[in-house]
Structure 1
Amino acid sequence: MVKALEWQEQHPIFAISPTDWTNGAYYTGVVRAHQATKNQIFLAALKTMGYNNQWETLKRYHHADDIAIVYPYLYIDGTRKDLVNLEPSTTFIDKHLFEPNPWRQGPKDSLTHILWWWCDALFMAPPVLASYSKYKNDSSFLDEMHKYYMETYNLLYDQEEHLFARDLRFVWKGDKNDKKAENGRKIFWSRGNGWVLGGLALVLDDMPKDYKHRAFYENLFKEMAFKLKSIQSEDGLWRTSLLDPDSYTHGETSGSGFFTFALAWGVNNKLLSKQEFMPTIQKAWEALEDCQQENGMVGWVQNIGDAPTGAGAKSWQNYGTGAFLLAGSEVMKLE
């Protein structure tokens, strides 16, 4: 894990800005690595990132991607009071949840007629809101999160397959124009579902045990976990097109990393049976380790996208490193 961090810090990369979703996902992994190990190298990387960003977010207040960076800010604030300027984060959250925006008036057949219209958003925003609700000791933020989460769930969750479509393009309507994988089955993107399941673990970690909607999140987590256990490939990694594993000959590490993190978290928090899931987790972690090169780089990461494509031994992204760190942070707790 340390080698992965050191390599990534020496090779900074982001899609738009140092405060974008790719860095948000990466530094969420760094948060969990520090939380699990207490190794100061992880905390130093977090503080340096925050100072360099001046604790800012991006400014697309209606877009969940631009809130992801707040998760590490909130964690850093918990390590030392008065270090972090949370005003930009508070402004973003208030505008994101409560300020009217054009998406509310979008046509019902468009991709973007709800706030979180793509499944990736369920990693970007809900963990931040659960953490912020805990920080503020105010369950109204959880209530708002739940309202928008249910919109996405009702739009994109497939009740038969127990997986999320990436967006409306991949929701089957029962006609000849439905998008199909090469084997004729529905298309479910590995990293997209990794975003969801990893995000669920993070949300549940900060959600009070007696929160009125907690049972919904626990049940969804378990449904998805059992589905993913059943479709893990023999080599331990999941393929980018989950129900068409033959479409790509090698597994992919960002989706697989998020799955490994979530499944290990489920065992560690007694939502999943250790006896049932340990073989799945062990096989996945060993496969992820095999994808890490000697210099620390985590390869076989699918590049930025919105649908299944291939990856290579030398393809990497910061969110892939983040997923690797998330996975390691929970696997190391297993007994």
Structure 2
Amino acid sequence: MNKTILALFTVLLFFNCSTAQKVTGVNVIDKSDIKSAMIKALEWQEAHPIFAIAPTDWTEGAYYTGVVRAHKATKDMIYMAALKNQGYWNNWQTYKRLHHADDVAISYSYLYIDMNDGRRNFVDLEPTKKFLDAHLFDDDEWKKGTDKSEYGRTILWWWCDALFMAPPVLNLYAKHTKQPKYLDEMHKFYMQTYNQLYDKEEQLFARDMRFVWQGNDKDTKEPNGKKVFWSRGNGWVFAGLALILDDMPADYKHRPFYENLYKEMAEKILKLQPEDGLWRTSLLCPESYNHGEVSGSGFHTFALAWGINNGLLDKKYIPAVKKGWNALKACQHEDGRVGWVQNIGAFPEPASYDSYQNFGTGAFLMAGSEILKMQ
């Protein structure tokens, strides 16, 4: 009897997962509905704060990057109020690991406030400057390249997520302060990560050296024998590229590299989108988990929409963006919570109807904000 009940429960669970992610009207985008969904997501997240380490950590950085993009698209003061409140209560601090890219992600929101609030001396950018100077110009163990662990911590940004956390901040800081040296340093370290983790054949990034294909028996593989490429990990990079290009000078000498990389990834991400609109946590082995995931999908949808809006992608990408948004919206609870977010991790894992994280809400806001700009 117990086995029968368990089997029935499992069937119902998968039915509910499938139903929750069913997409209808994939070609219809209601911008008033998008705005409403975004505000509900913000209000729920603000009322239910969650972070990994501290209010200045990378999870909050990613979430408030979404709030930044929402304000940039709508100019609704509810988003600016949330941005100012967190910056003020954080005393404009970064987190404490000066050589860890994650710990400066929060500064993207501080820079945006300083550039758009209109009041002098409200934002204190000195902690951000202190972090960036130490991060770029001080020696540390990773830069020495002496780490022999499986992670391959032999460069400053040794994991692909880092390309979302620090480069957009450095790029925006260079723009805001008119100091191009920060952009040049960003490019130097970005190229190190690209050269180590980008798979030119697959047009995707390995999360870290554990997942770089070496062609031997120790390689980490998916059950189907494919290489391991994590959806959110590539979402970090892909969305980060859109953020970088958004603020990078049009005549910057290395801009063509970022545009070409963006287009390569866009082409691959488009091919990998499932019919229901949500990318699976494992991009090359989607059958590992028979459901979509919101954080990676939100970042992919945002980045694709950004490319359409900025002339880097043609109209063939529009259906994917619309399908992606409708699928994301289907994962939002009635109270505003954004579900189906894989928890903090470093490789493909499952999500659920009730699983949420603040960075998932950030991805949701980023996607909605860019779709609002589409014609």
| 2:212 match | 171
- Render the CA deviation track for 1:157-181: whole Å, top value 9, x for unaligned: 0010000000000001111111111
- The letter for the 2-side match of 1:140 is K
| 2:168 match | 127
| 1:82 match | 121
Does the alignment pair 1:278 with 2:318? Answer: yes
**2-structure distance, mates of 1:105, 1:324:** 38
Please point out which of 254, 271, 275 is paired with 2:295: 254
**2-structure distance, mates of 1:250, 1:296:** 20
| 1:332 match | 372
| 2:53 match | 16
Cα drift, residue 82 of structure 1: 1.5
- The letter for the 2-side match of 1:16 is I
| 2:221 match | 180
Does the alignment pair 1:26 with 2:26? Answer: no
| 2:138 match | 99
Write the mapping of 1:1-335 to structure 2, written as runs, cut at 5 A: 1-78=38-115, 79-80=117-118, 81-107=120-146, 109-110=148-149, 111-273=152-314, 275-335=315-375
**1-structure distance, mates of 2:129, 2:59:** 20
- Render the CA deviation track for 1:53-102: whole Å, top value 9, x for unaligned: 00011111100000100000000111233210111011001000001112
**1-structure distance, mates of 2:217, 2:138:** 39
**1-structure distance, mates of 2:251, 2:148:** 37
Cα drift, residue 107 of structure 1: 2.5
**1-structure distance, mates of 2:145, 2:320:** 42
Cα drift, residue 182 of structure 1: 1.1
- Render the CA deviation track for 1:14-60: whole Å, top value 9, x for unaligned: 00000000000000000000010000100000000011100011111
Cα drift, residue 156 of structure 1: 0.2
- The letter for the 2-side match of 1:298 is V
- The letter for the 1-side match of 2:369 is S
**1-structure distance, mates of 2:355, 2:147:** 37
- Render the CA deviation track for 1:240-282: whole Å, top value 9, x for unaligned: 0000011111100000000000000000000000x21001101
Alignment gaps of 5+ in structure 1:
none
Percentage of matched positions with identical amino acids = 65
- The letter for the 2-side match of 1:92 is F
- The letter for the 1-side match of 2:137 is F
RMSD: 0.8
**2-structure distance, mates of 1:276, 1:42:** 32
Greater CA deviation, 249-258 or 95-104?
95-104
**2-structure distance, mates of 1:76, 1:112:** 33
Q: Secondary structure at the match of 1:209?
A: coil
**1-structure distance, mates of 2:88, 2:218:** 49
Q: Which has the larger radius of gyration?
A: 2
Would you say how many aligned residue pairs link Structure 1 and Structure 2? Answer: 334
Alignment gaps of 5+ in structure 2:
1-37
**1-structure distance, mates of 2:313, 2:144:** 41
Q: Secondary structure at the match of 1:237?
A: coil
- TM superposition outliers: structure 1 runs of 4+ over 3 Å: none
Cα drift, residue 104 of structure 1: 2.0
**1-structure distance, mates of 2:44, 2:330:** 16
